[in-house]
Amino acid sequence: CVHSAAVYRRSSEVVDCFKMSLSPNQIILEHYLTGWRGLIKFIDSLGKLFGFISSDALKKVEILVRFRNGDNGSEYTTVQSMVQFELQNELVDVNKTGIYPESGCRTLLRLHRALKWLELFLDRLRTSTEDSKTSVMCTEAYNASLAQHHPWLVKKAALGAFRFLPQRSEFFKIMNVGPPEKVVAVLGEAVVLISEVYRITEELYVKHNLLDLP
Ligand code: 1Q0
């Protein structure tokens, strides 16, 4: 039986990480990345079919962790300080020069875009009824957000994988926070926090014209 053994963490703990990352108008990277690790564990518990998604997300988290543990680690305390540091030191490919294909700014942008998908998906899940299909909710959320940033092959793989998502009741169990009413409450809190984290990051990226980083 997948659901009891594969639960690594309660989804409410993941929500707590994103809550702690808000400070209140800055995003603390340490907690943001711990939140992401929780999300990655969650995808992993959905099975091997989703491995290509979790391994890409993990790769990005690890790039940012490496910066945090590196020589300039103290510059990577918040998303704001990271952006300021990388821009001031010209460590970002603002004009497709290809010198810094793995800057913190472009790497975080990928996670940031995925958070929009998560916000839309969790909101659909929260307002869904027992007979709603997770694959449909996930596909709608994806098409309205992340899909526009993905080439067709990635889109095809993602849409293909969504068909194998566990159904709503199973998904609620994997979230591991208790009865459906409790899950819905946690989802409500998650949506509010994730959209706040998203909003703050988005504003910062708009301000510095970083939303199209290659
Ligand atoms: C629930 C199942 C997960 C559905 C995830 C939807 C997103 C699909 C993304 C598929 C693409 C992955 C393959 C790689 C794509 C990269 O090309 C792309 C761009 O990076 P780059 O370096 O090539 O420019 N990478 C990305 O867009 C990053 C994608 C990260 C997706 C992370 C999804 C996080 C999912 C979390 C599931 C949590 C479910 C609920 C938990 C409740 C918690 C309160």
- pLDDT band per the 50, 70, 90 thresholds, residue 94: confident
Residue 104 C-alpha to ligand 1 middle, in angstroms? Answer: 17
Q: Whose CA is nearest to atom 43 of ligand 1?
A: 11
Q: What is the mean pLDDT of residues 57-83?
A: 98
Highest mean pLDDT among 13-17, 41-45, 161-165: 161-165
- Mean pLDDT across the chain: 93
Q: Whose CA is nearest to atom 38 of ligand 1?
A: 39
The confidence score (pLDDT) of residue 11 equals 85
Residue 53 C-alpha to ligand 1 middle, in angstroms? Answer: 5
Global confidence as pTM: 0.94
**pLDDT at 174 exceeding the cut of 80:** yes
The confidence score (pLDDT) of residue 6 equals 38
Residue 54 C-alpha to ligand 1 middle, in angstroms? Answer: 7
Q: Whose CA is nearest to atom 44 of ligand 1?
A: 11
Tell me if 14 CB under 6 Å of ligand 1: yes
Of 20-34, 88-102, 150-164, the least confident: 88-102
Q: What is the mean pLDDT of residues 32-58?
A: 95
Check if the interface score ipTM surpasses 0.90: yes
Q: What is the mean pLDDT of residues 139-156?
A: 98
pLDDT above 90 coverage of the chain, percent: 88
The confidence score (pLDDT) of residue 3 equals 33
Residue 135 C-alpha to ligand 1 middle, in angstroms? Answer: 15
Q: Which domains does the chain have, with CATH numbers?
A: 7-205 (1.10.3520.10)
Tell me if 159 CB under 6 Å of ligand 1: no
The residue among 72 and 101 whose pLDDT is bigger is 72
The confidence score (pLDDT) of residue 8 equals 46
Q: What is the mean pLDDT of residues 141-166?
A: 97
Residue 34 C-alpha to ligand 1 middle, in angstroms? Answer: 16
d(CA 14, CA 9): 8
Residue 157 C-alpha to ligand 1 middle, in angstroms? Answer: 11
The confidence score (pLDDT) of residue 79 equals 98
Buried b (16+ CB within 10 A) or exposed e, 57-77: bbebbebbbebbeeeeeebbb
Tell me if 42 CB under 6 Å of ligand 1: yes
